């Protein structure tokens, strides 16, 4: 029996307004199946329908729910997109184009300092058609009943950030091969590269209004390479059999008013990735080691997640480790550190985990610390 | 000292444009950073004994190429003595 309790949180009125009553019955059936599968795995879960979807009221409800289960920690699964349970719109302190940061971080935090999470939080978003949410819920249920094996990863970076990306990727897969764009572009990309992988790591460029991610030519690359080639498109994502996806791209996790064609995050979920972690706004990182900002968060998250921590706990613990590290180095968090902590959201069931089976694997992972 | 010396700003500009030549000619904004300690107490982290005054220089430029328009933001964190602590770039 796992110690943590999973709370599935949504707003029925908003779901009905979006999908219709009939389809909400189907969602409730899928939730029943998910709860059953979690119970078989020893996870206690509860569905809670919110009375109000105003973010501050949602946060208050979470605190009240949490008190019921003290001292057991809760995993929080938010069901629905921004139009069902809205993201917080947080102030952006960095001098860039973002007016605000869409974030689930306040739902994860007990205190008003939202940069440090206290709870494992994930969201199964929705698109216009109900099929997406049903599919992702169905996949999560199935995934609770079976272990993942395999230990291979996949890494894809802009050529310009090769050294920085290598430092992240090799911390998880020593000696692993990192694909670079350029020379790889959408034309050379082989969809099969993504299948049967434990984790998929992307350090590419992204734009708010576009669905694709881009590479960037390095100064030493041939001049006939395009400066920012299209590196990956939603239609290149094949059917997966799981996989933890982390994208450092700007707006890699920006899903407001988007459908699958316009979002690689949503496409990965629809194609059976276990989870997707990405940024809802402009993300930052170094162009060479050591890892900071998005690179550092990604490194910590993948280290936890590939060692078997639940994805929600992996992100929570990665954010705490990130804060500790930056405080020790700098003595403070700067604006882009804080933005990094607020803009990276987890999509998928936070209670899912990936147990990577290895012969000499004696690593022990504590889900809460 | 609340303002970063122009000599240091010039040195940082030189360093940033060496790695990002497209930012040549861009005048960075300069902000003195506030140090917060509450967060360290929350996570029981001891801060370094001597926390230096740090500044952030932000370089920003719209890059237009092929069919793509991309905002490049580069942030350099610098001490009052001119030591560059980190340089980060928008993704």
A177, burial (CB in 10 Å: exposed 0-12, middle 13-18, buried 19+) = exposed
Instruction: Identify the domain containing residue A251 by its residue range.
Output: 148-356
Residue written as token pair 């949410």:
A133
Contacts of A98 (CB under 8 A, 6+ apart): A92, A281, A282
| Tens-digit pLDDT string for chain A (369 aa) | 678 899 999 999 999 999 999 999 999 999 999 999 999 989 999 999 999 999 999 999 999 999 999 888 899 999 999 999 999 999 999 989 999 999 999 999 998 889 999 999 999 999 999 999 999 999 999 998 876 655 689 999 999 999 999 999 999 998 889 999 999 999 999 999 999 899 999 999 999 999 999 999 999 999 999 999 999 999 999 999 889 999 999 999 999 999 999 999 999 999 999 999 999 999 999 999 999 999 999 999 999 999 989 999 999 999 999 999 998 887 788 889 999 999 999 999 999 998 655 434 433 344 444
Structure-block tokens of residue A215: 């590479």
Contacts across the A-B interface (CB distance below 8 Å)? 107
Contacts of B69 (CB under 8 A, 6+ apart): B62, B63
User: Which among B38, B51, B87 is the nearest to A331, CB-wise?
Assistant: B51
> Would A207 be classed as within a structural domain?
yes
> Would A362 be classed as within a structural domain?
no
3-state helix, strand, coil in chain A (%, to 5): 35, 20, 45
Within 8 A of B51 by CB-CB distance, chain A residues are 331-332
Q: Are A92 and A101 contacting, i.e. CB atoms less than 8 angstroms apart?
A: yes
Q: At A330, which CATH number?
A: 3.40.50.1460
- A140's enclosing H/E stretch is helix A130-144
Return the residue of B nearest to A226 by Cα. B66
> Would A366 be classed as within a structural domain?
no
Q: What's the pTM value of the predicted model, to 2 decimals? A: 0.93
Q: How far is A284 from chain B (nearest CA, A)?
A: 5
ipTM of the complex: 0.88
Contact across the interface for A250 and B29, Cβ inside 8 Å = no
Q: Which of A97, A124, A143 is the last residue of a domain?
A: A143
- Cα separation, A223 vs A227, whole angstroms: 8
A119 and A183 inside one domain: no
Q: Which of A110, A143, A176 is the last residue of a domain?
A: A143
Chain B residues within 8 Å of chain A (Cβ atoms): 19, 29, 31, 33-36, 38-40, 42-43, 45, 47-48, 51-52, 54, 56, 58, 60, 65-66, 68, 70-71, 73, 75, 77, 85-91
Return the residue of B nearest to A220 by Cα. B19
B28, burial (CB in 10 Å: exposed 0-12, middle 13-18, buried 19+) = buried
> Would A232 be classed as within a structural domain?
yes
Q: Are B77 and A270 contacting, i.e. CB atoms less than 8 angstroms apart?
A: no
């Amino acid at each position: 029996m796992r110690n943590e309790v999973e709370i599935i949180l949504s707003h029925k009125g908003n779901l009905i307004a979006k999908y219709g009553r009939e389809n909400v019955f189907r969602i409730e059936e899928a939730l029943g199946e998910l709860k059953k599968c979690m119970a078989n795995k020893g996870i206690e879960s509860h569905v809670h329908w919110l009375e109000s979807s105003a973010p501050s009221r949602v946060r208050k409800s979470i605190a009240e729910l949490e008190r019921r289960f003290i001292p057991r920690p809760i995993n929080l699964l938010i069901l629905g997109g921004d139009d069902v349970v809205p993201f917080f719109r947080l102030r952006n302190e960095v001098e860039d184009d973002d007016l605000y940061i869409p974030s689930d971080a306040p739902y994860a935090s007990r205190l008003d300092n939202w940069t440090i999470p206290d709870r494992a939080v994930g969201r199964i978003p929705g698109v216009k058609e109900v099929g997406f949410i049903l599919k992702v819920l169905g996949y999560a249920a199935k995934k609770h009943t079976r272990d993942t094996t395999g230990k291979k990863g996949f890494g894809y970076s802009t050529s310009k950030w090769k050294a920085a990306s290598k430092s992240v990727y090799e911390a998880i897969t020593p000696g692993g091969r990192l694909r670079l764009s350029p020379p790889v572009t959408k034309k050379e990309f082989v969809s099969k590269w993504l299948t049967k992988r434990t984790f998929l790591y992307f350090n590419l460029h992204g734009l708010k209004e576009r669905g694709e991610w881009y590479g960037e030519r390095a100064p030493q690359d041939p001049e006939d390479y395009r400066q920012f080639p299209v590196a990956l498109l939603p239609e290149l994502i094949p059917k997966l059999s799981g996989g933890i996806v982390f994208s450092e791209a700007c707006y890699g996790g920006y899903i407001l008013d988007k459908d699958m064609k316009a979002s690689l995050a949503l496409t990965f979920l629809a194609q059976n990735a276990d989870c997707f972690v990405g940024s809802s706004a402009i993300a930052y990182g170094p162009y060479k080691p050591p890892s900071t900002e998005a690179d550092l968060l990604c490194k910590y998250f993948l280290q936890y997640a590939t060692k078997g921590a639940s994805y929600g706990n992996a992100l929570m613990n990665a954010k705490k480790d990130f804060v500790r590290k930056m405080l020790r180095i700098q003595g403070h968090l700067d604006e882009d550190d804080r933005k990094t902590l607020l803009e990276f959201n987890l999509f998928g069931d936070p209670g899912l985990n990936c147990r990577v089976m290895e012969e000499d694997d004696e690593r022990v992972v504590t889900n809460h610390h | 000292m609340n303002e970063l010396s122009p000599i240091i700003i010039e040195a940082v500009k030189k360093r940033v444009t060496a790695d990002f030549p497209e930012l040549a000619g861009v005048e960075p904004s300069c902000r003195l950073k506030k140090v917060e300690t509450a967060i360290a107490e929350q996570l029981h982290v001891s801060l370094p004994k001597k926390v230096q005054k740090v500044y952030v220089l932000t370089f920003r430029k719209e890059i237009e190429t092929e069919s793509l328009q991309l905002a490049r933001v580069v942030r350099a964190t610098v001490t009052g003595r001119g030591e560059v602590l980190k340089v980060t770039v928008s993704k």
